[in-house]
Structures are given as C-alpha cells and as structure tokens.
C-alpha cells in the first residue's frame, strides 16, 4: 500500500520529538572526525509546505512545530534543531518543515554519507530533486527495510539508522523487530532510532516488548504523549526506541522532554517517558 503521504502530518508533535532526538544523535557522532553513514528507511518527500492543502486539512503542525516556533525560552539543547528549521524559513515565517533527510543533509559533514529510500511514486521524485546536487547522498526507490540488509555495515563502521515507517501497513509492527535483529547482527555498533506511534497502546507495546526480547543490549525509550491513551482513532503519543544511545542522550532528554510536554501538551493531560529498557 502506497497511499500514505507524510505531508498531512509534517511538523506535528511526533515529528518534533523524532527530529530532536535525531539531531542530538547526529551531533554526538560528529564529535569524532571519522565519517559515518546516515541511513533513512522511509524518507518521504524531504520538504513539506505547511500552507499546502494536505497540511492545512489536518492542521497537525499547529499543535506541533508551530507552538515551538512561538517560544522565546527554547532550551539551548534544541538550538541546533531550530537552526535547521530557520535555514528553510529565513524570514521568521514558518512556511516549510524539513523532514529527516533534509535535517541530516544540513547537519552531516562533507566526509559523511546519506542513504535515503522512498517508494511512493509522488514523493520519490521530490526527494530525488532535493538531493540532485548532493554528492554525499544516494536516493533509491526501493524497500527501506531491505536496505538494512544490503547497506549494512557501512564502510566507516559508524552510522545512524532511522526506521520510521507510517505503520499504516499493520505488519510493520511485526516486521520491525525481525529486520532490526538482522541489521544489528551485521552492524552491532550502529545507533538505531526506531520511531513509533501510539494509536493502539496494546499494538505498540507488543512491538516494543518484541524488540526488548531480541537480546540486544543498550536500548532506551523516549516518549511524549499529548493526550492520555484512549480507544478513539488518532495519535495520542509517539516515541523513539534508541539502540546504542549516545552517552549524553538520557541527560539531554531529561531537560528537553519536560519542556516539550509543557509546550505541546496544551490540555495538560499527557505525560512523557524516559526509560532504559535494556542496560549494558
């Protein structure tokens, strides 16, 4: 099924959390001069117009990045994330939201590499165009999950892998632990970021439990809820499972997540989670 378009959801609270964690992890790997690979399994179009028909139809960005954009007391730890947004919105008007590929494009160095995949027939050409002049990047119209087998380990033996399907195909919940284990066996030292939505807590928790049971060490969880769990349709929370988290990440998120909850949880009914699921 290729009906999902991230343009309906760009800049929502889930994107904010996902991209802050991604930014922190990229900046951590840049502390060493040695190059690394950024591999993005479900890249989307790359850039999203927040005044588009899709974005305006859902209005999800209004309760996400739009709320951050209005803040003057932004924690220093997310300045890098905000600085990337300002590169695409230089006149202080929030017009575009960059997806994970463009965030990585701005933050990675000349010696680093990007591997991006997208299957959607409309989004793939847009993504390809965004990176047409970037020699560091390979943009492929292929199955993102298959890249975890074919592109790992990277030659540099350093890398960040972002796994963030739409989960509109229900077997993604079952597939992720399987492909993750295959990837980890090939590249055990990589930083793996697995984004997950909370629409059905039971379904999401089962996937997390399956990941925990894989026998992989050093797994952390960071989750932000803007509403309590319920049985109604809609995204109440989202989170990031991080394998091999950078050593500063927990401390950083202890500062960032309380602030994000205060800023994005307008109705004051949500919560957040910072948890080590599996230790050394």
- Catalytic: 164? yes
Annotated binding-site residues read 19, 42, 100, 118, 143-144, 164
Task: Give the number of other Cβ atoms within 10 Å of residue 106's Cβ.
Answer: 16
- What string of H, E and C letters represents the secondary structure of 137-177? EEEECCCHHHHHHHCCCCCCCCEEEEECCCCCCCCHHHHHH
Q: How far apart are the first and last CA of the chain?
A: 38
139 vs 49, 129, 132, 204, 216, CA distance in Å? 21, 10, 9, 29, 29
Dist. CA 99–CA 36, nearest whole Å: 20
Annotated binding-site residues for S-adenosyl-L-methionine read 19, 42, 100, 118, 143-144, 164
Question: φ and ψ at 144, to 5 degrees?
Answer: -60, -35
Per annotation, catalytic residue among 15, 40, 123, 164: 164
The catalytic residue positions are 164
């Amino acid at each position: 099924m290729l009906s999902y378009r991230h343009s309906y959801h760009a800049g929502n609270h889930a994107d904010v959390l996902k991209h802050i964690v991604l930014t922190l992890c990229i900046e951590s790997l840049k502390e060493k001069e040695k190059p690394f690979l950024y591999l993005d399994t479900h890249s989307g179009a790359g850039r999203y117009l927040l005044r588009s028909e899709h974005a305006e139809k859902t209005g999800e960005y209004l309760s996400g990045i739009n709320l951050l954009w209005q803040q003057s007391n932004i924690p220093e730890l997310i300045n890098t994330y905000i600085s990337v947004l300002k590169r695409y919105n230089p006149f202080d008007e929030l017009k575009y939201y960059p997806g994970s590929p463009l965030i990585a494009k701005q933050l990675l160095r000349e010696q680093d590499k990007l591997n991006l995949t997208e299957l959607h027939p409309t989004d793939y050409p847009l993504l390809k165009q965004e990176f047409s002049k970037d020699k560091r990047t390979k943009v492929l119209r292929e199955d993102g999950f298959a890249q975890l087998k074919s592109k790992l380990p990277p030659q540099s033996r350093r890398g960040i892998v972002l796994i963030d399907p739409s989960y509109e195909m229900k077997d993604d919940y079952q597939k992720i632990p399987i492909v993750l284990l295959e990837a980890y066996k090939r590249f055990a030292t990589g930083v793996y970021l697995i984004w997950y939505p909370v629409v059905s807590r039971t379904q999401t928790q089962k996937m997390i439990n399956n990941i925990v049971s894989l026998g992989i060490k050093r797994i952390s969880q960071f989750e932000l809820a803007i509403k309590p769990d319920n049985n109604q349709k809609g995204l109440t929370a989202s989170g990031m499972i991080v394998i091999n988290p950078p050593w500063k990440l927990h401390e950083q998120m202890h500062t960032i997540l309380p602030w994000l909850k205060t800023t994005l949880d307008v109705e004051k009914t949500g919560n957040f989670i910072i948890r080590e699921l599996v230790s050394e």
